[in-house]
A = this chain, B = another copy of it.
């Protein structure tokens, strides 16, 4: 067996508390290298005259990626303490892997050799709100969803959809528009709305906040927003807002004060100012988001800034009953701030959802002390590569997703925020070169996958658009121009997911077959099992696979 490939370290995705009584343990080995793995375990203090008392249990192989196999076991130690090791077998070879290294036989004279999960403390368990795993999100870019009240249109607003979206044009979308069209969302079957920023800001995207405690007047006022949340809740729809706490806008009052009073400004330590006078060219001489002068980075280490932002975090939950915060550029803000943020938000609404925008490996934010989930861009990319771009085949897709699913704890995977596109990317139909079948397949994939899916407004009726700003077109409300076939497809998938919880996050996910463009995977619980058969190719594929007895068709083409 290849020792260099064998990996386990207590913590992260390899050893974690799944819930208050259950630990999950994983082991990585070289692909195809090992016949079986036995888990050797015991309570560290459980000694009798015969020595340390241990048990043995067979681990399950839960997946394989490009280079590795993964083995798994769920275990409930009676006294919540665990020392453990792994006995690997390959042919006639046996290897015991412990924290202190490899042995030919398990040493039992001391527990110090073994890996250690010292104590399962309930308070440390990663725990996303329970409602999240059954939620289907719908992302709304409020300027472009619907104009329900022309009286609040910003100056120079254009007639709805009268021209292509640009970086600086406005069409007057607002809260009343969302209220007016709530039936569209209910009909589709979504159960949560994620709004991109709604606070007072200069741009049409509102990521350049002027005032975190005020609604942007073009969307309505606080009363309209209260009404909106109420309407959503009455319709079983949760509301999540976008918190842009990494940076403020240029017109945020404290930054304006800095520009005016320079080093004498009382807000000098609210930002990361490198020198005076403040300059914006050629590059800002203060820290910003990217090198964007209009987005000065907030100094979240400053207790005054902290207090202000935590007030904001609590305010919209307490006063408006919102259900979650999506955190913009979340990984550039300090961990210390996010820990306080979590405490503050959960203190006013224990089951509020906290979702971080992170495009990279996010393990360091998902230990239960910071976020409940991150945006699952690795899913987005692999799904688009497989179905839309056809740059990877089914096997590579399965391997990539196996790698991602094994990068995180299972309870993290169940709350992951899966998306096919957003206000930051090309629209999914455009990615598919407007091939509607591909688009349908992508939604089938996302809506039967582990994680919480999110639909970007308009995707469900076949809207197209390139990268920002192209993807931010005005929502099409003319039914004749809506692709109702697509709408019905997605609607039926949502209904299927609603009626078969196994398709949401109650079910395990296992890849059954991945061959060229065809992919078969299973979602299963002890009670129910669903196989998903997918052909991402351009033509009919022959797939010879034995489906166990007792299965019946619940969607799509029948098979023999």
Contacts and interface: CB of A to CB of B under 8 A. Distances in A.
A395 interface: no
B331 A116 contact: yes
A359 interface: yes
A228 to B, nearest CB: 33
B335 A10 contact: no
Interface in A270-301: 287, 290-291, 300-301
B301 A332 contact: no
Contact of A332 (B118, B334, B359): B118
A67 B4 contact: yes
Given A2-B4, A10-B360, A364-B11, A121 B67 contact: no
Contacts of A115: 360-361
B79 A287 contact: yes
Contacts of A79: 287
Given A45-B291, A336-B124, A118 B66 contact: no
Contacts of A156: none
A119 B67 contact: no
A101 interface: yes
Closest 7 CB pairs of A and B: A121-B334, A4-B5, A45-B290, A118-B331, A116-B360, A119-B332, A123-B301
A556 B5 CA distance: 44
A359 B44 CA distance: 12
Interface string A331-342: 111111101000
Contacts of A508: none
Interface in A219-237: none
Interface in A25-51: 30, 44-46
Contact of A124 (B3, B124, B335): B335
A80 B287 CA distance: 9
Chain A interface helix/strand/loop/mixed: loop
Interface in A354-369: 358-361, 363-364, 369
A542 to B, nearest CB: 31
B3 A67 contact: yes
A386 interface: no
A122 interface: yes
A66 B101 contact: yes
A463 B2 CA distance: 46
Interface of A: 2-5, 7, 9-12, 30, 44-46, 66-68, 79-81, 99, 101, 112, 115-116, 118-119, 121-124, 287, 290-291, 300-301, 331-337, 339, 358-361, 363-364, 369, 377, 381
A116 B357 CA distance: 14
A360 B4 contact: no
Contact of A4 (B30, B118, B290, B364): B30
A508 B311 CA distance: 45
Given A11-B363, A11-B364, 13 more contacts: A3-B67, A4-B68, A45-B290, A80-B287, A112-B377, A116-B331, A116-B359, A116-B360, A121-B300, A122-B301, A335-B369, A339-B339, A339-B369
B66 A359 contact: no
A101 B334 CA distance: 27
Contacts of A68: 4
B116 A332 contact: no
Contacts of A334: 119, 121, 123-124
A183 to B, nearest CB: 38
A222 B450 CA distance: 59
Nearest to A30: B4
A12 B13 CA distance: 13
A10 B337 CA distance: 20
Contacts of A67: 3-4
A10 B360 CA distance: 10
9 contacts: A4-B5, A10-B361, A11-B363, A81-B332, A112-B381, A116-B360, A118-B332, A123-B334, A335-B369
Nearest to A297: B119
B336 A118 contact: no
Contacts of A122: 301
Contacts of A301: 121-123
A358 B331 CA distance: 30
A286 to B, nearest CB: 11
